[in-house]
Amino acid sequence: MKLLHRSGKTGWHKVNKLRAALEEWIREEALVKGTLSGKKTSSEVVKVIVKLVKIKAGIKFQFEYHEKNKVVHKNLDRPEALEEIELLMQTRFKQLDLKTARADVKLFSNSADNCRVLVKKLDDREGGRVVDLSHNRQKNYILEEGIPVGYLVHLGVQTPEGKVVKSRYDKFRQINRFLEYVEDILKVLPKSDRPLRIVDFGCGKAYLTFAMYDFFTRRLGLEVSIIGLDLKADVVAFCNKTAQALGYEGLRFEVGDIRDHDEQGAVDLVVTLHACDTATDEAIVKSIGWKAAALLSVPCCQHELHDRLHNESLDPILRHGILRERMTGIVTDAYRAIVMETLGYDVQILEFIDMTHTPKNLLLRATRRGHEGDEDREWLSMADWREADAFERTFGLGKTYLRTRCESV
């Protein structure tokens, strides 16, 4: 079968209607599935399905060319994928059905300039579709709609039959996404006979704490010791009662302040989701002090540096309240990453869930670099703070809470 992809720049320079619609709707972050159908000719390809896949070489558009008795695959980058779909629609298929994260879109085209687009936006309350980048579609999300999980049913996220309660769909997606990040850092967690030790700071109603317990024990068959800590006694009492009702041994909740909390022995993973302002910094300080293998933190509001940010070149940004607020978030998270990198961690800042759900959507994923043979090294006295110093000067931060606390660890 001859694939229609043109690798060279063989035309289509003029942006036609069809091309403009494809540019708008076919995007890496939003395409769930595309189906080209309605044959124009007697071609052996009856339909073509386009999905996103994440492979070693990065995110690709995977084309499945369905013939009578076989399916041929080809992975393309976005520019070539757009060219290929455009060509397929001009020569072989009348219709393209797209399922995207937020809408169903139908494109009908007879020629480059005769293109009709029908858009049906999804109901916001349904929480949108998740773009699945797994190469093998059998491997889906960690939690699946239709498969009831004890804690999700108990906490009212799922019905006993496993259906996700409409108003809790965002929570379901958030937990799923979080577990994917937990899955990603499994490789850095120690493999030993003792239970894995995890602390969830500012656990609140503890959806994630229960989710981690279920993930590690039921799904991975590991023994864990998990603590959820929160300032609120009533919330902690509710969580302990829930853990008991679910029979989750090895999971307990305590009332306390992150700053004062201490653990005897190793802590492998520290988690914080939406811990306000410097509570996230405290969690970072604890992770560093405990030499935790990993920290997963989704910061919340950031106040400390808000009024301090100063940089003349950035004045056009900083003099607008809303931009200053966003800049504060960016500077604070970048600074946290620098501090953790200075003190022995690799840090990535990733999108947790898309912006349509919450603006507090960045996740700091920190994994401790191997320190074989130098476990006892005095990091703080040997740490090279030059990058942090320069960053502090650039933004006029002065002495920060995080740095002061790190120096007292």
Ligand X SMILES: C[S@@+](CC[C@H](N)C(=O)[O-])C[C@H]1O[C@@H](n2cnc3c(N)ncnc32)[C@H](O)[C@@H]1O
The answer to whether the CB of 212 falls within 8 A of the CB of 253 is: no
Asked if residue 212 binds ligand X (CB under 6 A), the reply is no
Minimum CB separation from ligand X for residue 274, in Å?
4
Other Cβ atoms within 10 Å of 296 Cβ, number: 26
Q: Which of 84, 214, 230, 268 binds ligand X (CB under 6 A)?
A: 230
Please pick, from the candidates 164, 175, 203, 269, the single residue that binds ligand X as defined by CB under 6 A: 203
Q: In the complex with ligand X, which residue's Cβ is closer, 16 or 209?
A: 209
Pick 16 or 174: Cβ nearer ligand X: 174
C-alpha closest to that of 50 among 10, 21, 88: 88
Greatest Cα pair distance in the chain: 75
- Calculate the CA 304 to chain-centre distance: 25
What's the min distance (Å) between Cβ of 279 and ligand X? 4
Check the CA dihedral 109-111-116-117 and report its sign.
Answer: positive
Q: Say if CB 301 and CB 280 are below 8 A apart.
A: no
* Dist. CA 6–CA 52, nearest whole Å: 19
Q: Which is nearer to ligand X, 11 or 156 (CB)?
A: 156
Could you tell me which of 397, 396, 395, 280 has the C-alpha nearest to residue 340?
280
Task: Please say whether the beta carbons of 71 and 65 come within 8 A.
Answer: yes
Interface segment toward ligand X; rule CB under 6 A; list 32-40, 113-121, 144-152, 199-207: 199-207
Closest residue by Cα to residue 86 from 188, 17, 181? 17
Nearest residue to ligand X, by Cβ distance, number only: 204
Q: Which stretch binds ligand X (CB under 6 A): 76-84, 226-234, 338-346, 392-400?
A: 226-234
CA-wise closest residue to 302 among 272, 323, 336, 325? 325
Q: How far is the CB of 354 from ligand X (least distance, A)?
A: 17
Does 299 interact with ligand X (rule: CB under 6 A)? Answer: no
Closer CB to ligand X, residue 109 or residue 302? 302
Q: Which is nearer to ligand X, 115 or 298 (CB)?
A: 298
Q: 127, 128, 202, 329: which one contacts ligand X (CB under 6 A)?
A: 202
Least distance from ligand X to the Cβ atom of residue 300, Å = 6
Determine the Cα–Cα distance for residues 171 and 215; give it in Å rounded to an integer.
16
Question: Which residue among 25, 63, 151, 207 contacts ligand X (CB under 6 A)?
Answer: 207
DSSP-assigned letters across all residues of 57-108:
TEEEEEEEEE-SS-EEEEEE-HHHHHHHHHHHHHHTEEEEEEEESSEEEEEE
Nearest approach, Cβ of 286 to ligand X (angstroms)?
11
For ligand X, the closer of residues 181 and 385 by Cβ is: 181
Q: Under the criterion CB under 6 A, does residue 204 sit at the interface with ligand X?
A: yes
- Binding flag, residue 231, ligand X (CB under 6 A): yes
Q: Which of 18, 98, 229, 243 binds ligand X (CB under 6 A)?
A: 229
Q: Which is nearer to ligand X, 335 or 352 (CB)?
A: 352
Nearer to ligand X, 204 or 329 (CB): 204
Distance CA 164, CA 346 (A): 36
Binding mask 250-289 for ligand X (x = CB under 6 A): -------xx--------------xxxx--x----------
Other CB atoms within 10 A of residue 269 CB: 25
Which helix or strand (DSSP H or E) is residue 197 part of? Answer: strand 196-201
Q: Which is nearer to ligand X, 76 or 236 (CB)?
A: 236
C-beta of 227: minimal distance to ligand X in Å? 11
Q: Which stretch binds ligand X (CB under 6 A): 20-28, 30-38, 118-126, 201-209?
A: 201-209
- Residue located via tokens 């995977």: 62
Structure tokens at 185: 């850092």
How many residues can be counted in the chain? 409
State the Cα–Cα distance between residues 119 and 104, nearest whole angstrom. Answer: 6
Measured from the CB atom, the residue of 224 and 239 that comes closer to ligand X is 239
> Does the footprint of ligand X cover residue 128 (CB under 6 A)?
no
Binding site for ligand X (CB under 6 A): 202-205, 207, 229-232, 235, 257-258, 273-276, 279, 300
